Amino acid sequence: MNEKTIVSVINADARSEYAVIRLLSRGVYATLEQKAGAVIVLPPNASASTSTPRGRIDTNELIKSLSPAAVIGPGAAEKYAVPLPFFDYSKNGEYVKKNAELTAEGAVGIMINERPFSVSSAKIAVLGFGRIGKSLSEKLTFLGGDVTVFARRAEARAEAEKICRAKDFADFEDGFDCVVNTVPAPTVNVLKIGGYVIELASAPYGFDEDDRRLLGGKFIFAPGLPGKTAPRQAGYALGDAVYDILKGEIFK
């Protein structure tokens, strides 16, 4: 394959459009059209199913229908691309860092614009201390929030304590204005939550359908947040990550 190879970005949301713009600006023949035989780029939320203009469809069937030369996507979609060459953009450090920052920024925006409390002096629990949890804790603390990070590993809690308070999940108790989850697995009992919840984690999420029903209007489902709150920057970051793979692995 070479620079004349078509790169077809699956049109999941506005990020896809900006990823194409970024790739075109860097000399890549990129398009939102689903073209057979192209290198296809799956969206960040692709796993067993993938978002398309027709709704979520089976990833395996999507890939088979396009007979692509190679697949670029998040690691969660790799097993659905077998036996095709697969390249994982979620291993790109700059992309992951930028995506975490934009996700954290979007979560802060939700609190400011959609919740009935001020971030300043609000009691906020952040579940998990990965890249998103760290960025979010930093931003909320800077804005005057009373932040407590909950994390399982002692090393993560020690790192979080450089920014705010930190506790083990087992020590979670009610008393927060807002709980923000970044862990794609259950960590705390929903019955201990009296405030609002913002779900940032990807599938299978931290709160299941029963939990969401219990929380009612206090639950905000917001995975893939950069696609909603900062699609241009998120799309550019995706385009840059894809370009790095094209130049390093495919256009040889």
pLDDT value of residue 70: 96
Clarify whether residues 197 and 119 are in a common domain: yes
First-to-last alpha carbon distance for the chain, in angstroms, is 7
Residue 2 in any domain: the answer is no
Clarify whether residues 132 and 194 are in a common domain: yes
What span, in angstroms and rounded, lies between the C-alpha atoms of 31 and 90? 21
Clarify whether residues 137 and 79 are in a common domain: no
Residue 133 in any domain: the answer is yes
User: Which CATH number characterizes residue 188's domain?
Assistant: 3.40.50.720
Clarify whether residues 216 and 235 are in a common domain: no
Q: Rounded mean pLDDT of the chain? A: 95
77 burial via Cβ count (<10 Å: 0-12, 13-18, 19+): buried
What span, in angstroms and rounded, lies between the C-alpha atoms of 228 and 222? 9
Clarify whether residues 121 and 213 are in a common domain: yes
Percentage of the residues of the chain whose pLDDT score is greater than 70: 98
Kindly list the strands in the beta sheet with 7-9, ordered across the sheet, starting from the edge strand earlier in the chain. 30-31, 7-9, 39-41, 70-73, 86-88
pLDDT value of residue 1: 60
Clarify whether residues 216 and 239 are in a common domain: no
What span, in angstroms and rounded, lies between the C-alpha atoms of 200 and 87? 25
Kindly report the three-state secondary structure assignment for every residue of 133-186: HHHHHHHHHHCCCEEEEECCCHHHHHHHCCCCEEECHHHCCCCCCEEEECCCCC
What span, in angstroms and rounded, lies between the C-alpha atoms of 92 and 74? 10
In the three-class reduction of DSSP (H, G, I as helix; E, B as strand; rest coil), residue 235 is classed as helix
Residues 58-108: tens digit of each pLDDT: 999 999 999 999 999 999 999 999 999 999 999 999 999 999 999 999 999
Among residues 107, 97, 88, 102, the alpha carbon closest in space to that of 44 is found at 88
Q: What is the pTM of this model?
A: 0.90
Residue 86 in any domain: the answer is yes
Clarify whether residues 54 and 112 are in a common domain: no
Number of H helices and number of E strands within the chain? Answer: 8, 13
Domain membership of residue 202 as a residue range: 100-221
Clarify whether residues 191 and 79 are in a common domain: no
How open is the CA angle 6-16-128, to the nearest 5 degrees?
125
52 burial via Cβ count (<10 Å: 0-12, 13-18, 19+): middle
Clarify whether residues 35 and 132 are in a common domain: no
- Total number of domains constituting the chain: 2
Q: Which amino acid is it at 143?
A: L
Chunked into runs of 10 residues, the chain (252 residues) has average pLDDT values of 83 96 96 94 94 90 95 96 96 96 96 90 96 98 97 98 98 97 97 96 93 96 91 98 94 74
Clarify whether residues 110 and 212 are in a common domain: yes
Name the DSSP letter for residue 84.
S
